[in-house]
Structure 1
Amino acid sequence: MRDVVVTKADLLIEQEMPPALLQLCAHVSGYEITAARWAQGRYEEHLSVISFPGRELRDYTRERFTRLKKEQAVLLGHTATEGRRPMLLGRP
């Protein structure tokens, strides 16, 4: 997940990395520390040192996806009153 965020950051709407995505990257990095400890036989830790941004990430993703689909509909010449279902992955 972190790799997708980092390698596709140029596709973000924002000028700076959103806090929810920063926390996601930190969470994944934290698990790498935990995995390294496990590789050393140290199993006392079972979680990332940074919590997963559950609600924040869900809300951010939902809002941005909805916004993107609305912009896509405008570009394709669709309107909300036409009663069309939103296009997903280029399919009607």
Structure 2
Amino acid sequence: MKLLFFDLETTGTNPGRNGIHQISGSIVIDGKHIQDFDFHVQPNPKAVIEDAALQVAGVTREQSTASSSPAQQAADPAQPNDDLPF
């Protein structure tokens, strides 16, 4: 059985206004821990970034917008997702 545990850090609590700035988690296959991952991603440019949400995550506004977009990370062969087992 393949299991994916994940956590999202967002720029606020409203999914219609706020965006995702971090995606992390673990992959477990047949009861064996395979890999952890942690991607810092740029929120949607239209997302509202709330300072209180960034404080909870321990990141600055500049850090939250400095990462590449999720699409860029998925397309970039140098990103650490190359060795995911799926």
Fold match (TM-score > 0.5): no
Structure with the greater relative contact order (CA < 8 A, sep ≥ 6): 1 or 2? Answer: 2
Q: Between Structure 1 and Structure 2, which shows a larger proportion of strand residues?
A: 2
- Whose Rg is larger? 1
TM-score normalised by length of structure 1 = 0.25
Structure-2-length-normalised TM-score: 0.25
Kindly indicate which of the two structures has a greater share of residues assigned to helix. 1
